[in-house]
Amino acid sequence: MNLADLMEQIDQLDTFKRYGRVKRVVGLMIESQGPESSIGDLCYIHVGHKRKRIIMAEVVGFNDENVILMPYTTINDISPGSLVEATSKPLEIKVGTQLIGSVIDSIGQPLDGSPLPKGLSTVPTEQAPPNPLQRPPISAPIDVGVRMIDSLLTVGTGQRVGIFAGSGVGKSTLLGMIARNTTADLNVIALIGERGREVREFIEKDLGPEGLSRSIVIVATSDQPALMRIKGAFTATAIAEYFRDKGLNVMMMMDSVTRVAMAQREVGLAIGEPPTTKGYTPSVFAILPKLLERTGTNEQGSITAIYTVLVDGDDMNEPIADTVRGILDGHFVLDRALANKGQYPAVNVLKSVSRVMNNIVETSHVKAAEKLREVLSTYMNAEDLINIGAYKKGSSMEIDEAIRLYPSIISFLKQGTHEKLSFQESIQQLYNLVGKGE
């Protein structure tokens, strides 16, 4: 950079600081008179003795001439007249390879209180999705190390998939298996709205030292303000984008996108949005595609994204599940009935689909997967007759074959938590079970 360019940048610097004052606080909402700012800007609220403590807040709306702010942390010590300082820029985080193996919060700070490593780059948390015409087609499978998924619901490099399940059906365990076993270059894992107890349990038990050594974990627990939970999702996506732009194939996992939607509902209701379907505000249905479309492929690398969706009462047609299913490139349904039988991972193969599988695997692989689905479907349709002894052997060749293969199929669909298989091993076991679909 020459001296003339440097002088021009100095001339363009805004050296003024803009301030406002808190007028009132209602629930999660802080209303202040000033400062001059825009939607999404970060502000600092100075509180405490001699204003030595700072509360970070974001501009989320306006009421006449007043600014509406939402805090990133608790709002203790805020009083009428507290000073509000504008930064005139949105939230930015520090990212780099030095963060790999770390657990951070929604604003990019290490959760254990240690200082950030040196030499990190600054990136904004909110960015536009890649241009649709600059997204290379998904053309190759990615090995996730789970036999059932690799063989019957093959995931492509850069695909976005949802895991739909009620509570306690094994979502976190399945995510931990994928994080440990995948051949992706890096994992970015966002735990949004989790119980505080489950965070360490997931990191130590489900992820383990092997998984953590190639992961960055972003945590926003359920007790944190709504804005921190929303920012956790955007921060995780920004980190994944940074490494994608470096040419890596990133595996991003978010548990769960439903809690992001619930947090956005809290924000929307607080600033006066009308509640619509099941109390969700219009901004919820605007933020979901804005967030989910950021992952996928671009010209440098890829983000293979797996989002968990918590379905209330196992209702697959509730508003958030329905919206997310329409945006993503596939959905895996975890079935409570299978979990109750002890089948883990409890993925219901007949209700799940990968929308890109047929484009990225060999024809023999597709036919073998279809054959297994067909046999499993035949057995499930005749299961009641078989169980009560009403089916007579020889009445149907298809049912006879299904009865013969069913124990082997169930054994194939089950996998131990620490059992690791390569993509090719999974496909070979599928061929051994049902042939090549001829």
Give me the residues paired with residue 24 across strands. Answer: 31
Q: Output Rg (C-alpha) for the chain, integer angstroms.
A: 25
Q: How far apart are the first and last CA of the chain?
A: 65
pLDDT of residue 303: 95
pLDDT of residue 1: 56
pLDDT of residue 251: 95
pLDDT of residue 314: 65
pLDDT of residue 295: 94
Helix (H, G, I), strand (E, B) or coil at 328: coil
Q: Report the C-alpha gap between 438 and 364 in whole angstroms.
A: 8
Helix (H, G, I), strand (E, B) or coil at 356: coil
pLDDT in tens, the chain (438 residues): 578 777 777 777 666 788 899 999 888 789 999 888 889 899 999 987 766 788 899 998 888 889 999 988 887 788 888 899 998 889 899 999 999 999 999 999 999 888 998 889 999 998 999 899 989 999 999 999 999 999 999 999 999 999 998 877 888 889 989 999 999 999 999 999 888 888 888 888 888 888 899 999 999 998 888 899 999 999 999 999 999 999 999 999 998 899 999 999 998 888 888 988 888 999 999 999 999 999 999 999 999 999 999 887 666 778 999 999 999 999 999 998 898 888 989 999 999 999 999 999 999 999 999 999 999 999 999 888 888 888 888 888 999 999 999 999 999 999 998 888 899 999 999 999 988 755
Can the peptide bond before residue 132 be classed as cis, meaning omega within 30 degrees of 0? no
Q: Report the C-alpha gap between 99 and 102 in whole angstroms.
A: 5
Q: Report the C-alpha gap between 293 and 283 in whole angstroms.
A: 16
Helix (H, G, I), strand (E, B) or coil at 154: coil
Can the peptide bond before residue 137 be classed as cis, meaning omega within 30 degrees of 0? no
Question: What does pTM read for this prediction?
Answer: 0.90
Q: Where are the beta strands (DSSP E) in 294-389?
A: 296-297, 302-310, 330-333, 353-354
pLDDT of residue 138: 93
User: Scanning the structure block, which residue is given the tokens 């002088």?
Assistant: 7
User: Scanning the structure block, which residue is given the tokens 């038990």?
Assistant: 205
pLDDT of residue 313: 66
Please, which residues have CB within 8 angstroms of residue 326's CB and are 6 or more apart in sequence?
none
| AA letter at 355 | R
Q: Report the C-alpha gap between 145 and 105 in whole angstroms.
A: 28
pLDDT of residue 436: 75
pLDDT of residue 14: 66
pLDDT of residue 13: 67
What is the token pair recorded at 421? Answer: 């298989």
Please, which residues have CB within 8 angstroms of residue 435's CB and are 6 or more apart in sequence?
368, 371
**How, if at all, do strands 103-104 and 121-124 pair?**
unpaired
Q: Report the C-alpha gap between 9 and 349 in whole angstroms.
A: 58
Q: Report the C-alpha gap between 409 and 106 in whole angstroms.
A: 42
Q: Report the C-alpha gap between 306 and 283 in whole angstroms.
A: 23
CA distances from 302 to 74, 158, 241, 275, 297 (A): 36, 5, 8, 36, 4
Q: Report the C-alpha gap between 216 and 176 in whole angstroms.
A: 13
